[in-house]
Amino acid sequence: MSRVSAWLGDWMAPLFLVAVVISVYEVVMRYGFDAPTIWAHELTVLLSASCFIVSGLYALERREHIRVTVLHERLPPAVRRLVDALAVCLALIFLSAIVWGGWKAGWEALINWHSTRTAFDSPTPAILKPLLVATAALMVVQILVHLRRPGPGR
């Protein structure tokens, strides 16, 4: 599971650069040549949102998720373990709720190939809705892997 998470993060990261290049292209076309595109904004949103969704899984795999370390590191070890256990429980509940509550909408968006219904009509909903559900499910599995094989400092 950790290899899958790392591979997905490594594969998706360059898409941020692609989104930047598309944004620069749009700015040049719009303000330099007075010829705006109808696709640049939606494609940039799709790429960036996809990367943001998958980056949560990547950060979780690397154990680099957000933590208020200035407070966490000052807690006594027993309290720190309790806080960590509470955080794991809350994360599992939250992610499971996303999977449970979102799978139907994600599946419907995918099989009906929902689009934005704009001039560009991108399939952003058909991609992002199932991606969010699938990534949340993978994050649940990644958390369970971490519980089975604790990392450094645990």
Decide if 118 is inside a domain: yes
Residues sharing a CB contact under 8 Å with residue 151, sequence separation 6 or more, in sequence order: 63
**Is residue 154 a part of any domain in this protein?**
no
Q: Which residue range forms the structural domain that includes residue 86? A: 2-148
- Within-domain flag for 18: yes
Give the dihedral of Cα atoms 85, 90, 95, 101; nearest 10 deg: 150
Q: Say if 153 falls within a structural domain.
A: no
With 50 as the cut, is the pLDDT of residue 40 above it? yes
The total number of structural domains in the chain stands at 1
Residues 6+ apart with CB under 8 A from 5: 57, 58, 60, 61, 138, 142
Residue 89 domain flag: yes
Q: Which pLDDT score is estimated for 70?
A: 79
pLDDT band at 72; cut points 50, 70, 90: confident
22-46: b (≥16 Cβ within 10 Å) or e:
bbeebeeeeeeeeeeeeebbbbbeb
**Is residue 77 in a domain?**
yes
Judge whether 30 lies within some domain.
yes
Q: Give the lowest-confidence range in 30-39, 70-79, 123-132.
A: 70-79
> What is the per-residue pLDDT across 106-131, written as a single tens digit (0 to 9) for each?
999 999 999 999 999 999 999 999 99
